[in-house]
């Protein structure tokens, strides 16, 4: 079965650079969620989109922005990268229009800022 | 505000032992959803179970079982006859109730995680 696809899997950037993370949800899933997991930490909710509109916002820095496109894939844009942005970034998707579907997570993008 | 507490930071057991991972949650919502996820060393988050607040039935799936008790706001996870492959970080998570347009299970508040190490 198709799963949530995230790209790239690994990314190394320098301080003050920008990064773009991509997420391709499971087919027919209409909701995408972004999480940030620092080393040794639990995942923290950043932002979510439902039917291409932002639906919830968590602890996402102003330097970050995200959107969901017409094909339901989503991109997380991160600018002016800081060392503290080094983390595992997860995308998850769910089918909000249908009950009893939990969120399925991608394998994550490991971002290292040097 | 929602909160999930996993008091056990690390647990170490020997293969074939039973182990219980504790999870206590706080929420003001009357409808909510509880989850357990497994994060093996490879890093991905693997969904294990979802429980609705209105369904207190315990559940068993192979060597895994879950005990949900609303009276104590706990949702504990037991692995019977543990195996080395069970070694991972286990997260308990909470999602609030219905949103307009349907129920969204993906906005999760995670606990701090419990690192389980199973020794051969």
User: What local confidence, expressed as pLDDT, does residue A97 receive?
Assistant: 62
In chain A, which residues have their Cβ closer than 8 Å to the Cβ of B35? 102
Q: What's CA B28's distance to the chain center, in Å?
A: 19
CB contact set of B32 (below 8 Å; sequence gap of 6+): B2, B25, B53, B94, B95, B96, B97
Say whether A97 and B112 touch across the interface (CB within 8 A): no
The average confidence (pLDDT) of chain A is 93
* Contacts of B58 by beta carbon, 8 Å cutoff, 6+ apart: B65, B66, B67, B68
Q: Any CB–CB contact under 8 A between A52 and chain B?
A: no
Averaged pLDDT for residues B11-26:
98
Nearest to B106 among A92, A98, A110 (CB): A92
> Cα separation of B33 and B53, whole Å?
6
Note whether B48 and B117 are within 8 A (CB).
no
Q: Is B85 a residue whose pLDDT tops 80? A: yes
Which residue from B6, B8, B4 is spatially nearest to B26, judged by alpha carbons?
B4
How much is the pLDDT for B105?
Answer: 67
């Amino acid at each position: 079965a198709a799963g949530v696809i995230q790209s790239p899997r690994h990314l190394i950037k320098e301080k003050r650079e920008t990064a773009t993370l991509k997420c391709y949800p499971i087919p027919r899933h209409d909701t995408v969620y972004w999480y940030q997991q620092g080393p040794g930490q639990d995942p923290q909710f950043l932002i979510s989109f439902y039917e291409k509109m932002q639906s919830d916002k968590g602890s996402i820095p102003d330097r970050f922005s995200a959107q969901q496109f017409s094909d339901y894939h989503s991109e997380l844009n991160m600018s002016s990268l800081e060392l503290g942005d080094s983390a595992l970034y997860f995308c998850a998707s769910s089918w909000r229009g249908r009950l009893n579907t939990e969120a399925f997570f991608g394998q994550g993008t490991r971002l290292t800022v040097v | 505000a929602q909160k999930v507490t996993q008091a056990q930071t690390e647990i170490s057991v020997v293969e074939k032992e039973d182990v219980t991972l504790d999870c206590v949650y706080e929420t003001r919502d009357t409808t909510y959803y509880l989850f357990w996820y497994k994060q093996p060393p490879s890093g991905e988050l693997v969904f294990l179970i979802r429980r609705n607040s209105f369904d207190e039935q315990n559940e068993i799936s192979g060597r895994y079982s879950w005990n949900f008790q609303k009276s104590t706001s706990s949702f504990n996870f037991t692995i019977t006859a543990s195996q080395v492959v069970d070694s991972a970080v286990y997260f308990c998570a909470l999602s609030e109730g219905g949103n307009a347009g349907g129920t969204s299970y993906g906005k999760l508040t995670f606990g701090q995680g419990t690192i389980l190490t199973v020794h051969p």
